[in-house]
Structure 1
Amino acid sequence: MTPVSSPSSHGQSPLRTVQVLGGGNAASSAHVRSLAAGLVARGVKVTVCAPFEADHAYDFTGVGAGHVHVPRSSDPVSVAALRAACANADLVHAHGLHASFRTVLALSGRRVRTPLVVTWHDRAHAEGARAQLLRLLERRVAKAATVVLGTTSALVDRARRTGARDARLAAVALPGPRRPVEPDDPDRQRPKARAELGAIGRPLLMAVGSLEPHRGYDVLLDATRAWRRLDPVPLVVIAGEGSLRAALQQRIEEEELPVRLIGRREDVPELLAAADLALLPSRWEARSVLAQEALLARVPLVATAVGGIPELVGDAAELVPYGDARALADAVVRLLGDPERRERMREKGVRQAATWPTEDETVAQVLSIYDELTQPQPLL
């Protein structure tokens, strides 16, 4: 990529932007790193406000951005640190609900209004009173933002319903290599990974995501009962950690289900490439990283038709209703018994992945929005 200067209203001075992350989940943190790298290459000055551990994990400074430590909490110290970091910014871009809310607090009361772009990468998940609080935060952020960017059409619609004056679709690229796995790749089945997981001589079904209620793993465990009659019995492997770990493990042991919980892993792409099928049983997903990685790895995907999933995968996955264990089980049984259909899905997946935006395209779209918001307004 050839560095180019961003057109701006600031003469020869580079556009000064601040990117704000909260704790930053893996997808949003990787996006901010990719965005920072692309903006810096185009002559934009970038400062990333995030906890120390986020910079350590994603190395924002390594791509040419500045880094300011801002803790996750919304206490006065964090807000004051963020306010100071944004003092000379031409534009501020916050990622995720909690980071966006802190940014709204930090920018409030300023004499000169700084454009605030907010990206909603996903919905915040909570139950009961906390869910009500999150809805109030969403409304406050949506109304205060100059522009809300949603990574899926469903999130754009949600932002508009919540009070955003300007909400737009801005699909986020999956950072990293975009080379699909070749059909004859000798590493495709990764025998070592399958042996480690205990899937020698049996189908391997892979799910990835936090062990939290919205992931739908209770439904997945229900579905595995139907697969026990298959010969050989498929093994379901779930990579992730969360509050439901103990409860899920107890069910697996008590019901003798063919499921393994392997915790948080750094080698998910390699494990996924070794799988026969990928499973995504969630109650809600935005622009699912697992779905994208599965299609790129030529792994047939069975997913719930929720949130941004249908828009993301098109006809390149088997989609089932959320909460329907029988539909999930039947879809898996059909695919395992139909090698030709699995191969068609692999080919469809590669074609679908080719329609997703690249990192360069994502950066270019965001930069065009920045330029729009920082150009001087004509006098009437």
Structure 2
Amino acid sequence: MSIGIVCPYAWDVPGGVQFHVRDLAAHLRRRGHRVSVLTPADDEAELPPGAVSAGRAVPVPYNGSVARLNFGFLSAARVRRWVHDGDFDVLHVHEPAAPSLGLLACWVARGPIVATFHTSNPRSRAMVAAYPLLQPALEKISARIAVSEYARRTLVEHLGGDAVVIPNGVDVDFFARAEPRPEWQGGTIGFIGRIDEPRKGLPVLTRALPRILEEHPGTRLLVAGRGDTEEALKGLEPRVRERVVFLGMIDDEDKARLLSSVDLYVAPNTGGESFGIILVEAMSAGAPVLAGDLDAFARVLDGGAAGELFPTGDAEALAGAAIRLLGDPERRAALRERASRHVRRFDWETVGAEILAVYETVTEGAAAVAAEAAAAGEGDDAPPAGTPRAGGRAGRRR
């Protein structure tokens, strides 16, 4: 099968959607499919094989964060050319409601389109206001996927329609076989995320740290991610500051090794999360997880059975739960055991098969529509809306 995947966010800025697109493309190629990925990126950026730049992204406030998106006349021309030349059996766009490449691709493509919705935002006035602009593109989508029930709810409430829920995928074995690094072991708490993005919740964790250190004075907090480290430490006493270790940006291998090394992984996020891929990665690596009780996080952690939850944004509750877990190795071992079974639900072998089933459904449906039209004797050159191609040949016929 020939598959075109559209990533809405800049490839060189780490994020859950980018990782999902990257790993989905790799999984599909391993299964023997031809895959091309279109993504925002600087023209001189080094992209992996099969990835195509649609031009430089610009920072745009979006869903409580700053997303690097790509939208404009030059981008539209590049999208049109990529879709036309790709001759895809199915086009898979991510975040088609965002002002980026997914929306542009929906406008120009013909044939089977699958869309994945990642965003969870229960009060998006902007999305409601933009619906008249989005509607023509969204009506062309053949099948919708939401990465969580929360993302599905956002879609239903703001844009109408429905979606099948298929979670983000993780290479579980990659994280499970990661070797710990000795310097990251021994009374350590892990945090991975953008340091200066408030919704990632690092300030909640640093407010909890003094109390944690009172009970477990040897504890260290290992922080991986980009951002202003001095700002993150502002207001902390020297004895607390010296227990925080900033690792900067780390690659996938070191991320897996960090997660396999820590005694506890803490996700203090305060909102705007539709899934929680880092929780799945932590569970896969064997890290006991403590997370804010966001709806999406609670679902990923099986309602608290595969990881513990605390009231979102409550530093005192976070500190109490962390103190208890750091002092209870048997409880941490029980969480690891439960998580190691639960996390298989998110492995790419499962998730990839579900996504492929959606592709097959829409392409078979499009082929059936085309066959019915041919049997009915339609002799003009314009195929029906369900033509089996999502790109090149369909675009030329039209």
TM-score range, shorter chain: 0.7 to 0.9
- Distance in 1, matches of 2:91 and 2:353, equals 17
Over 3 Å counting, the alpha-carbon distance change for 1:55 and 1:370 in structure 2 is: farther
1:296-375 alignment runs, 5 A limit: 296-314=284-302, 315-354=305-344, 356-374=345-363, 375=366
- Distance in 2, matches of 1:158 and 1:234, equals 39
- Distance in 2, matches of 1:255 and 1:139, equals 55
Shift of 1:227: 1.6
Name 1:16's counterpart in structure 2. 2
Aligned partner of 2:278 among 287, 290, 297: 290
Over 3 Å counting, the alpha-carbon distance change for 1:178 and 1:81 in structure 2 is: same
Shift of 1:136: 4.8
Name 2:184's counterpart in structure 1. 193
Contact 1:28 1:121 in 2 (8 A): yes
Q: Deviations over 1:150-200 (max 9, x none)?
A: 11111111111121423110112203635636xxx9x55x32334xxxxxx
Name 1:156's counterpart in structure 2. 152
Higher relative contact order (CA 8 A, sep 6+): 2
Shift of 1:328: 0.5
- Distance in 1, matches of 2:279 and 2:111, equals 36
Q: Deviations over 1:36-65 (max 9, x none)?
A: 344345554322112456997662x2xxx4
- Distance in 2, matches of 1:121 and 1:152, equals 8
Name 1:281's counterpart in structure 2. 268
Over 3 Å counting, the alpha-carbon distance change for 1:98 and 1:162 in structure 2 is: closer
1:1-380 alignment runs, 5 A limit: 15-21=1-7, 22-24=9-11, 25-42=14-31, 44-51=33-40, 59=48, 61=49, 65=50, 67-71=51-55, 72=57, 73-87=70-84, 88-96=87-95, 101-108=100-107, 113-123=110-120, 132-133=125-126, 136=129, 141=134, 144-145=137-138, 146=141, 147-175=143-171, 177-178=173-174, 180=176, 188=180, 190-194=181-185, 203-211=187-195, 212-242=197-227, 245-252=229-236, 256-257=240-241, 258-266=243-251, 267-284=254-271, 285-314=273-302, 315-354=305-344, 356-374=345-363, 375=366, 376-377=368-369
For structure 1, the residue ranges without an aligned partner over 5 or more in a row are 1-14, 195-201
- Distance in 1, matches of 2:234 and 2:128, equals 33
Could you tell me which amino acid in structure 2 is paired with residue 225 of structure 1? P
Contact 1:29 1:58 in 2 (8 A): no
Could you tell me which amino acid in structure 1 is paired with residue 170 of structure 2? L
Name 1:7's counterpart in structure 2. none
- SS for the counterpart of 2:36 is strand
Contact 1:23 1:54 in 2 (8 A): no
Could you tell me which amino acid in structure 1 is paired with residue 330 of structure 2? E
Q: TM-score, normalised by structure 1?
A: 0.78
Contact 1:227 1:233 in 2 (8 A): no
Q: Deviations over 1:233-281 (max 9, x none)?
A: 4221211113x64421323367844433332122122122221111000
Could you tell me which amino acid in structure 2 is paired with residue 311 of structure 1? R
Over 3 Å counting, the alpha-carbon distance change for 1:178 and 1:231 in structure 2 is: closer
Could you tell me which amino acid in structure 2 is paired with residue 350 of structure 1? S
- Distance in 2, matches of 1:56 and 1:177, equals 30
What number of residue pairs does the alignment pair up? 341
- SS for the counterpart of 2:262 is coil
Give the alignment's Cα RMSD to 1 decimal.
Answer: 3.3
Contact 2:289 2:307 in 1 (8 A): yes
Contact 1:51 1:69 in 2 (8 A): yes
- Distance in 2, matches of 1:101 and 1:143, equals 15
Could you tell me which amino acid in structure 1 is paired with residue 184 of structure 2? A
- Distance in 2, matches of 1:262 and 1:142, equals 44
- SS for the counterpart of 2:52 is strand
Over 3 Å counting, the alpha-carbon distance change for 1:294 and 1:138 in structure 2 is: farther
- Distance in 1, matches of 2:175 and 2:100, equals 37
Q: TM-score, normalised by structure 2?
A: 0.75
For structure 2, the residue ranges without an aligned partner over 5 or more in a row are 58-69, 377-398
Task: Give the % identical residues.
Answer: 25
